[in-house]
Structure 1
Amino acid sequence: MNHSSKRIINMESSSGSSEIIFAFDAGRHEENVHKFKGVVPQQNGNWGAQIYAHHQRIWLGTFKSEREAAMAYDSASIKLRSGECHRNFPWNDQTVQEPMFQSHYSVEAVLSMIRDGTYPSHFATFLSTHQAQQGLAKHISLNGDEKFCCTQLFQKELTPSDVGKLNRLVIPKKHAVTYFPYANDESVDVEVVFYDKLMRLWKFRYCYWKSSQSYVFTRGWNRFVKDKNLKAKDIVAFFICEPITWGKGEAFSMIDVVYDVNNADRHKQILGSCEVEETKQDGNISAHKGLRLFGVSIS
């Protein structure tokens, strides 16, 4: 069977900066290769990339390979087109973080990086600096005896509406259909259960809003926002935590917060209050061990 497979290679350039190189294994017959969306051949053998948005054609630059041009189109479509749009390549562990990376830049800045070829290196730097956040709470000890290994499933940067008066958190579709129970309309009332790092229980109503075609947390979310003092640009991260020693403890799901670095003073205040709260609850931690993963019983 002839097909192409994609892999991502992190390499370090001679200048010391990291670069992301998207490599493809050969395997397609030439006659079966279809043009990538937004890619046009150039007379000099290079490849151009363009995208149509807001009723106008936007030129993204010229690239040495067809696939580089196709990746430029994918990156530009994130900033210029809302919702689920056609991509040349499927999402992977790195590219799902591009929306968060791009949220720190204007449309003009993103397009400028794509055109001058610095977008991959800037994105690689972003991934590197956020690696510590992605590995947050990798190991957690409870009562000094039970230890859990927590693997992050996904994270989301909060928008103003996520922490506003709407009392709802929008879950990106690609994560909702992967990690949460099936929900196809508002009549389906699913309760999802999480624990925070202090092993406090949090329950949210999870459903699908057909009017906006979005997956959301509703009931219970406002209480979480107020308790954690969440603001726009803070990040909520979702984990699955499993006991390191087999047979000791049970797996559970966890929700955690990464505060925006621009709100460092607020973060320090919150950390101080959490330390007091953790001391108060220390004797009750064992009574709050998780038994379900996103509302599903774990045996």
Structure 2
Amino acid sequence: MDTSKSAEAPQQSGEAASSIISSTQAEQGVSMAQQNEVPSHLISSSQAGQQEFAPPPTWFHGVFPLQNGLWGAQINSIPLGTFMTEIAAARAYDSACHIHFGNTFFRNLLLTNVTIHEPSFQSLYTSEVIFNMIRDGSYEPNYIHFLCKNCPNFHYCESVVMPTLLDVKKGFLFKEMFRKELLLIDVEIQNLFILPHEAISCFESFNSNTGPIWIEFKDRTNQSWKFKLCFVHTPPQYMFTEGWNNFFKEMELCVNDIVLFYQYKDQQNFPHRFSYMIDVIRGVRSPRMQRRRR
């Protein structure tokens, strides 16, 4: 694909501010982040040796504060730019990680009905173009334009809201395990939920169990849900039996809703504790793709 054409983008968004600070300041911020992703202190160039600058802490991975009150982001020591807000830097990190690692990374923010379409958008571009759009602030405007043009859910929306602090759980990082878009059969049989094939590898530590086990999941509100996990050998698949009906009714699940399953780690405890989370995205319809990256 002609990457020069793909890199054309609207003016940078209000939250991205890559050109606000000098390149020297940005390099200093990135250098500090490489040494310590969340530096305990930075020394102001005008007050070196006199007064320490104590930046606010951040639980976001790949995000670090700068001396001028802005925020930097990086992935594998690769700078992603400078941003007006901490949440914008966290979104940039998540977007860069997806094009770089796929789903095998711990996210800062939970997926939403907006960001769940990012793989379709990113498939139109090379990694280099995606990284450049993130740096110059055009990634999110281009992505919103893509949603309005290709996704039926957003055709008549006056605005598209990117993830906010409402899609964050302080101190938690999330790795998507698997997801399932509900079909008619999933809605008709409410006391049984057959998990997708990807669940087999996610729960492989339980494969040696001789019988069903109970697994606890937390939702966005921190409410606990317990499901009985059963394994069927022919064909090999996992399913939830007892407990699923309660979740189904409480969430009022419908056809086309997507149920997401995460593994998350709590950074506020050491060593990090890994747990499970369940989330629901309502009535998502896939975008109508016209072209894909080759």
Q: Shorter-chain TM-score: which interval?
A: 0.3 to 0.5
Q: If each structure's strand is expressed as a fraction of its own residues, which one has the higher value?
A: 1
Structure of higher RCO (CA pairs closer than 8 Å, 6+ residues apart) = 2
- Per the normalisation by structure 1, the TM-score is 0.39
- Per the normalisation by structure 2, the TM-score is 0.40
